[in-house]
């Protein structure tokens, strides 16, 4: 009899928690991420996704070669301009020189790696929604931010092509936690022939670090730090990968300074492996992102 009432109590608590989470997230009755519509159980949606178009229906991005050639000519002749380096989304890496250099105002030539915008705030481009199973909505807001809805597990996107480089580069973005109690940003990136993730707000909302180092998660290796993150606050995230180091910053604070020589760098086994070669995801947390930029280093 005690076992029966124990099971009954567990089911009741489970239903109440699921109902409360659905009501708080979707502002209507339901259970976790499901609701009833026209007599059928369906996955709840935060809002429609009018801006997302299947890649098969998306027009191919057009890049004017005349502009690229004129920029390259100006650089080769040492012409300084007041405009920032030209950026593009959904880039064709075979037609754009990502290792180009620019001439400074003092007449010397410095390595000035191209900064490449990977998200234009209008369409996903070469990002694809990652099919983790149970993921939440992925859509672009009216403000041009990439937003992830509350999922049963991971929700995210990944780059559908090879990255420009596997080392000697930086990637940066801005991330904001909207609601949830786990990581609102796991940035997966290449480290040579391997990959790693920079987790922000994991293990209950406070752990920051690299997964994995010598098969140890971010909560277990020397990169682990504890930080507090408030909802509705933008944070600048930057990761730098060189031949012998991984460095990472949140806003102006350096969080990771890891020498990778003779260390095993890998992903935590599981769904996060679907984020390669470059991915962004959250865990049971609503979040949004903007200003995703790749930058090659000399």
- Identify the bridge partners of residue 74 per DSSP, sorted by sequence position: none
Q: What is the pLDDT of residue 226?
A: 95
How, if at all, do strands 127-129 and 154-159 pair? antiparallel
Residue 20: what pLDDT? 67
What is the C-alpha separation between 248 and 39, in angstroms, rounded?
49
User: Closest by alpha carbon to 200, among 215, 213, 210, 212?
Assistant: 210
Residue range 103-130, pLDDT digits in tens:
333 333 344 447 999 999 999 999 999 9
Give, for 282, the enclosing helix (H) or strand (E). Answer: strand 279-283
| Nearest Cα to Cα of residue 294 among 72, 114, 40 | 114
Structural tokens at position 149: 């809805």
What class is the 119-296 domain? mainly beta
- Distance from chain centroid for Cα 89: 16
CB 157 within 8 A of CB 123: no
One digit per residue, pLDDT tens: the chain, 298 residues? 667 776 777 667 667 766 666 566 666 777 666 667 666 666 665 554 444 444 444 455 444 444 444 444 444 444 444 444 444 443 333 333 433 333 333 333 344 447 999 999 999 999 999 999 999 999 999 999 999 999 999 999 999 999 999 999 999 999 999 999 999 999 999 999 999 999 999 988 899 999 999 999 999 999 999 999 999 999 999 999 999 999 999 999 999 999 999 999 999 999 999 999 999 999 999 999 999 999 999 8
Q: pLDDT digits over 211-250, tens only?
A: 999 999 999 999 999 999 999 999 999 999 999 999 999 9
**36 backbone dihedrals φ, ψ, rounded to 5°:** -105, 125
Q: How much is the pLDDT for 236?
A: 98
Residue (of 207, 45, 51) closest to 123 by Cα position: 51
Q: Report the predicted TM-score, pTM, of the whole model to 2 decimal places.
A: 0.65
List 209's β-bridge partners, or say none: 199
Neighbouring-strand partners of residue 179: 286
For residues 78 and 285, what is the distance between their CA atoms, to the nearest angstrom?
48
Domain borders along the chain are 2-43, 71-114, 119-296
Contact indicator for 255, 235 with CB cutoff of 8 Å: no
pLDDT at 112: 44
Instruction: Name the one residue in this structure whose structure tokens are 């009018």.
Output: 50
């Amino acid at each position: 009899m005690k076992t029966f009432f124990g099971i009954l109590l567990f089911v009741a608590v489970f239903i109440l928690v699921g109902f409360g989470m659905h009501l708080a997230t979707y502002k209507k009755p339901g259970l976790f991420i499901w609701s009833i519509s026209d007599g059928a159980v369906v996955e709840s949606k935060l809002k429609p996704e009018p801006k997302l178009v299947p890649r098969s229906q998306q027009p191919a991005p057009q890049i004017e070669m005349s502009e690229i050639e004129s920029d390259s000519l100006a650089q080769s002749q040492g012409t300084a301009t007041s405009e920032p380096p030209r950026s593009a989304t959904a880039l064709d890496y075979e037609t754009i020189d990502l290792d180009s250099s620019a001439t400074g105002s003092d007449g010397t030539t410095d390595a000035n790696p191209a900064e490449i915008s990977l998200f234009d705030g209008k369409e996903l481009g070469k990002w694809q929604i990652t099919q983790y199973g149970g993921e939440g909505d992925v859509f672009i807001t009216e403000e041009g931010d990439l937003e992830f809805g509350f999922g049963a597990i991971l929700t995210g996107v990944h780059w559908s092509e090879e990255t420009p480089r596997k080392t000697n580069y930086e990637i940066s973005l801005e991330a904001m936690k909207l609601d949830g109690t786990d990581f609102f940003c796991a940035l997966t990136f290449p480290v040579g022939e391997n990959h790693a993730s920079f987790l922000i707000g994991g293990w209950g909302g406070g752990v920051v670090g690299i997964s994995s180092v010598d098969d140890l998660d971010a909560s277990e290796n020397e990169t682990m730090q504890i930080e507090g993150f408030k909802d509705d606050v933008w944070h600048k995230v930057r990761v730098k990968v060189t031949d012998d180091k991984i460095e990472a910053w949140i806003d102006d604070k350096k969080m990771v300074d890891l020498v990778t020589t003779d260390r095993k760098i890998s992903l935590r086994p599981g769904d996060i492996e679907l984020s390669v070669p470059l991915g962004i995801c959250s865990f049971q947390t609503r979040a949004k992102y903007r200003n995703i930029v790749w930058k090659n280093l000399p």
